Structures are given as structure tokens and as C-alpha cells.
Chains A and B, each alone.
Chain A
Amino acid sequence: MRLRLVWRKALNAVMLTLTGVAALAVVGVLFFILGYLLYHGGKSLNWDFFTKLPKPVGETGGGMANAIVGSLKLLLLAALMGLPVGLMAGVYLAEFGGTTFAFVIRYTTDLLNGVPSIVIGIFAYSLAVLPVRHFSTLAGGVALGIMVIPVTVRSTEEFLRAVPVSLREGAMALGASKWRTIATVVLPAASGGIMTGMLLSLARVAGETAPLLFTAFSNRFWSPGWGQPIASLPVMIYTYAIAPYDDWHRQAWAAALVLLALVLVANLGCRLVLNRRGAMRSV
């Protein structure tokens, strides 16, 4: 009897300790990644990286200025195409949605969110590359734009729902119609949260590689306009990492550091803002 109690207490202590170790191990991985990238990326990062084009294969030096601009251009396109759809659909779900149709939309949004990014790439390829038969910035923007939609919809809906009913009633009592209430009272009240949600969704697609491989493709030069293949940071990291040149590996580390810094700073900022406003789930 006594022995059994000792055994149960020991098991309790061991298992509880193990759960703590597991949690620490996972968080440790984050710090390991950060530290490793800071060390290797920081060593490789220089001014050329931000200002120069890639050197021809075999030569050392050069930078990724075109890929940085390329990533920004692709994100701009993604924002222009995906955010309005996400915003409007989110408004529909929060303000006008009935029961059945809204449920269908919500469910579809979640499923779209779960579609592997490589499949989104195939989809964008058949929409924007097959008809014109060449890779383009536009096609990459389409791929990322589709990926931006689901997160934007869900965060917009959540923040609109969080606006107190009393605000709506106040506007209605002043004689405003429903759409004026939404446009001038509800949306501004939720705007901070909605915009943070949008930024989060952009930060998420900023690191996507797979959907760009056969839509935006890549480019070792500047890509003027929107109709030509364009380089992006994630695709450059991939190409440079699997190449057999040491100098390319060095630049891949630098690019990874820059990309990770961008993504983490955006995430950190957004989540801090959101946490202050109250919990936001599932983004």
C-alpha cells in the first residue's frame, strides 16, 4: 500500500517534469533557430546584399537587391488582390451573414486555408501562367493573393463581432442606416484589429516559397513591370541553399536572416497589439 503511494507520487513528479521539459525544448528550438541565424546570417550580411544584383554563376559577391524588391512587389500584388476580398467577405460574415450560407462560407474559408501551398501554386499556374505561357510577377501575386484571403476573412469577422452592440445601437438611434453604421462606426472601431490581422496574413505569405516556384519563378536581374519572372527572397534562399557554391550558401544565410527578421518583427508587433486588445484565436 505504502509502496503504491510512493510509486504514484514518483510517477506524478516524473511525468510533470517531463511535460515541462517538452515545453522548454520546443521554445528552445525557437531560440536555437534565432541564434543560429543571427550568427551565420549576421556574419554573411553586408551592404552589397541590399544594393547589388546577383553575380553570374561562379563569381563570388553580389547581393539580392532584386529579390528584396521582388518580394515587396509580390506582397503588394497579394495585398491588392487578396485583402479587399477578405475584408468584404469578413464584413458579410459578421454583419449580413445568415446561418446556412454563412456556415458554408466559413467552412470553405477554413478549407481554403488548409490547402497546401504547392497546390495553390498549381492553381495560380493554371489561372495565370498557362493562358499566356510564361511565368510572371502577376501570377506570383495571384498565388499569394489567394493565400492571403482566408486569414483576413476570419480575423476581420472576429474583430467586427468584438465591437460592442451599444455602438451600433447608438448609430442606429441617430437614424443611420445599417450600411452607414457599418461604414462609419463599426469598421473604424475595429480598424486597428482588422489591419493587424491583414498584416499578419501578409507576413505569413511573405515566407512562402512553394507557390512561387512555377508562377513568379525567379530572375537574376531586375524585373520591370508585372509581366516577367521575378526573384523573391524565399525562392532565392531555396535556390542558393541547394546549390553547390559556398558563397551562395553564405548569401542564403543572409537572406534567411533578413526574411526571418521581417516575418518575426511583423508577427511580434501584431501579436503584441492583439494581445493588448484581447485574445485573438486561430491565426
Chain B
Amino acid sequence: MSATATTPIAHAVPPEAGPRAFLRRLRSGDEVAHVLTLIFAAGILLITSLLVYELWANSHLSRAKFGWMFLWTRTWDPIFDNFGAAPFIYGTLVTSVVSLVIAVPLGLAAAIFLAELAPRRLSDALAFLIDLLAAVPSVIYGLLGIFILVPLMRTTLGPALKGALGFLPFFSGPNYGVGFLTAGIVLAIMIVPFIISVSREVLLTVPREQREAALALGATRWESTWQVVVPWARSGIMGSVFLALARALGETMAVTMVIGNDPRISASLFAPGYTIAAVIANEFTEATGDLYLSALIELGLVLFLLTFILNGLARLLIAATERGGGRPA
């Protein structure tokens, strides 16, 4: 093609003002490629802004009618067109917190093992398997949840917990097998791979000297890990937890299948509940009135904002640690 021949000439011409110069630069091809790829990159911005706009615009009816009260109202009554998000926000937060309580210690421990103890090859192999675990589709977790965890919770796990901790309000009340706790356990299994793989990478960036200095001072392996390495990587680990939390908040299918889908606020973790994502999944296609649909879309907006903020924070924290700023304060 002639482009190769013309390019050096195009560059040799002194810069001129006006459309003619721009045309010449266009002909050289570089500018075309630049503009073309720029358009696609800007397309991502456009898609994301359009996403926010659509959520905002389509929830107009509900926002106009309920205002901020939408967030605090506890009724969800499609028949009388009375909608409040409180039970769903409660369910989303409770299941996420339960999942973090299980997944953070488990994930951090596994990440410590992979980063600090396991030989590099074993660590890589295990990390590889854990990444595969993250690839399992959520509907399959839901399927396993329905047919394994729910019966287990009803017959064994639930009664055992009740026997041991029944005096706490969280573990009292009837146990149906489905509910906040079951959903939290399924979520924990789903988010643990994210905590492990991000935390492992952050731990691996901690300088060797830090560990050696601690060991030289007579610390045991565990003391050096827990008192020196982990604090150093603290903000990155926090980032991984936020990332996992954002996943847990937005997770839909697995939760929908095991939480019981009942818009109620109960202190007991055995009680059935509902989450934002689950109610959207269940009722969106059946939403008959415009206001009903609008309320569901506003729930989507709430969920979007929650995960948006968490993701933003997580990215900043991880970036800060990997740049080496995660020094213990």
C-alpha cells in the first residue's frame, strides 16, 4: 500500500493551521486509527452514562411518588401500589454481612497459606484451582444450594446451631432451611475466591525484608505474618473485602434460589427474607403497573449506587497498596 511511502512525507511537512492540515494528517492513517479507537473507548463512557441515565429516568414515577421514604418504608404491596425498599435493603445487607463473617477469615487464612507458606508451585496450582471456583456460574451454586444446603440446614446444621447458640436472637425462631443464613453461606462460598486471589497478590507484594527483619528479631513465622506482613498489606486486603462485598450485594441467582423470597425484616437468621437483586429477578417480568416497574427499577438504582461506591473504594485501596503505600500507620 502507498501509505508507507506517504507517511514520512506527511511528517516532513511543517505544521499548518486549518482544515487542510487536518485532512493531510487524516490521510496518513494515524489520526484515523486514533480517532476510531477513541470513539470505541468513549463508547464505554457512553454506555456507562446511559446505564445511569436509564436507571434514573425509568425510576422517575417511583421517585416522584415516594421520595426518600422509599428507602425506609417497610411495605411492599403491588396490589395497592405501595412500595418500600426497606425489607430488601435489610436482606441484602444481612446476607452480605453473614457472607463476609464467614468468607473473610477463611479467605484471609487461605491467602496467607498461599502467599507465605506454600512453595511457589503449589501456591500457583492452588490459586489456579481457586480461580476456577470463581468461574462456576452462580445458577449452579443456587442449584447446589437448593438440593444440598437447604436440606442440610433444615435437618442438621440449623438444629445444631440452635442448640448451641439458641439464646441469641439471631439463632431463634423456626427454621425452614431457606433464609438469610443459607443465602449467606452460599454467598460466602461464591466470594471467597475473590478475597483469596486479590489478598494473595497483595501479600506477595510485601517486601521480603519485612519478613526477614521480623524473623531476625526472634518472631515466629506466624508472628511475622500476623504482626508485620498482614498489617503492611492491610489496605489491599480491605480492598479485596470491599470487592467481595460488592459482589455479594449484587449476586442474584444463587441468593434468589435459597433465601425464601419473603419481604420481611426479622432478627432471626433462620427466617426467610428477600434481597434487592432477588426481588428484581422474581418480579420484573410480572410487574403489571408502571409504578410497580418503576419501583423495581429504583431498587436497581439503589443496588447500582451501593456497588458503585464500594467498587470505587476497593479499586483505590488496592491501587494504593500495590504502589507500596500500604505502610502500617
A: which residues have CB within 8 A of B? 8-9, 11-12, 15-16, 18-23, 25-27, 29-30, 33, 36-37, 84-85, 88-89, 91-93, 95-97, 101, 104-105, 107-112, 114-123, 125-127, 130, 146, 149-150, 153, 175-180, 182-183, 203-204, 206-210, 213-214, 217, 234, 237-238, 241-242, 249, 252-253, 256, 259-260, 263-264, 267-268, 271, 275, 281
Contact = CB atoms under 8 A, between A and B. Distances in A.
Contact of A118 (B37, B38, B222, B250): B250
B37 A88 contact: yes
A213 B249 contact: no
B192 interface: yes
Contacts of B47: 112, 146, 149
B37 A95 contact: yes
A241 B50 CA distance: 34
19 contacts: A22-B106, A23-B118, A85-B43, A95-B37, A96-B34, A108-B45, A115-B250, A116-B303, A123-B50, A204-B135, A207-B137, A213-B281, A213-B285, A234-B137, A237-B140, A241-B143, A256-B140, A263-B136, A271-B132
Interface residues of B, number: 94
A30 B130 contact: yes
B142 A123 contact: no
A118 B54 CA distance: 14
Contact of B277 (A19, A118, A217): A118
Given A19-B109, A105-B45, A234 B130 contact: no
B253 to A, nearest CB: 5
A71 to B, nearest CB: 11
A132 to B, nearest CB: 15
A214 B32 CA distance: 39
A260 B140 contact: yes
A116 B30 contact: no
B142 A238 contact: yes
B125 to A, nearest CB: 9
Given A36-B144, A111-B308, A252-B143, A149 B284 contact: no
B268 interface: no
A92 B40 contact: yes
Interface in B23-57: 28-30, 32-34, 36-45, 47-48, 50-51, 54-55
B228 interface: no
B40 A12 contact: no
B220 interface: yes
Contacts of A271: 128, 131-132
A238 B285 contact: no
A23 B113 CA distance: 7
A193 B140 CA distance: 28
Contacts of A122: 54-55, 58, 280, 284, 296-297, 300
Contacts of B99: none
B228 to A, nearest CB: 14
Which 9 residue pairs spanning A and B have beta carbons closest together?
Answer: A207-B137, A116-B250, A88-B40, A92-B37, A22-B109, A179-B33, A114-B311, A19-B113, A12-B220
Given A96-B38, A111-B308, A11 B140 contact: no
Nearest to B103: A26
B85 interface: no
Interface stretch (B2-10, B66-74, B76-84, B164-172): B2-10
Given A118-B281, A175-B8, A207-B140, A36 B132 contact: no
A26 B130 contact: yes
B112 interface: yes
Contact of A30 (B132, B303, B304): B132
Contacts of B137: 206-209, 234, 259-260, 263
Given A26-B133, A105-B42, 7 more contacts: A18-B109, A21-B109, A30-B129, A122-B284, A126-B58, A213-B284, A241-B146
B65 interface: no
Contacts of A121: 280, 284
